[in-house]
Chains A and B, each alone.
Chain A
């Protein structure tokens, strides 16, 4: 059974940093792209970042570029999101998700398994 368990969320002041983790199990982690998606309170879903199987390619939404870094440790079946210079608008539940793609010519095109999410609150 595929399982994704996020951790690391919490309350942080504006300008602060937080590191989210996602523990994966039930599948060959190193064979899949992975993604982070967030959902602000009462709002819709927003894709945040993708990372390739071997970590060599990373992509993120413009609003977090230069502040957030996605990474992975295939030996530990772990996905991370390092969040720096946090802003109030980064307040959200952050989901880890397994990403799939149609073929090698495209990036990830859908997310087939999701974790339960971890809440990040940026407030003074």
Chain B
């Protein structure tokens, strides 16, 4: 199982929007609408932000949104806030009860 591809870094100023991409293949991202996104602050556990491409768990602000086109999924953070600065990881179901994660993107709020 190969990791999904994410840009190592992204940045934006407070109030701006930033989009993080996650590229997989036709056997994971492209095959299923089962992409999820996780936020991780340094030294903390990951937190689920988006599941099934576009759905937000209760308590996650609507500033966070997800989408997918072909083998690439995206996470958009609108109205950037200081507390959004963190590492973001995408994940996809890859069939046969396997999950695959991306390498992570460090989001910096300038």
Contacts and interface: CB of A to CB of B under 8 A. Distances in A.
Interface of A: 35, 37, 44-47, 50, 57, 59, 61-62, 95, 100, 102, 106-117
Interface centre among B45, B46, B51 (most CB of A within 10 A): B45
Interface residues of B, number: 27
B82 interface: no
Contacts of B46: 37, 45, 95, 111, 114
Interface string B8-46: 000000000000000000000000101010101000111
A111 B48 contact: yes
A107 B104 contact: no
Given A61-B1, A62-B1, A117-B45, A106 B34 contact: yes
Contact of A115 (B45, B47, B57, B93): B45
A117 B40 CA distance: 13
B89 A44 contact: yes
B99 A108 contact: yes
26 contacts: A37-B101, A44-B103, A45-B38, A45-B40, A45-B46, A47-B99, A47-B101, A57-B97, A59-B97, A59-B98, A61-B98, A102-B34, A106-B32, A107-B97, A109-B34, A110-B52, A111-B38, A111-B48, A111-B99, A112-B51, A113-B48, A114-B45, A114-B46, A114-B47, A115-B45, A117-B45
B99 A106 contact: no
A107 B96 contact: yes
Given A59-B98, A109-B52, A114-B45, 7 more contacts: A44-B102, A45-B38, A47-B91, A57-B97, A112-B51, A114-B46, A116-B44
A19 to B, nearest CB: 21
B74 to A, nearest CB: 17
B63 to A, nearest CB: 20
A47 B32 contact: no
B85 to A, nearest CB: 17
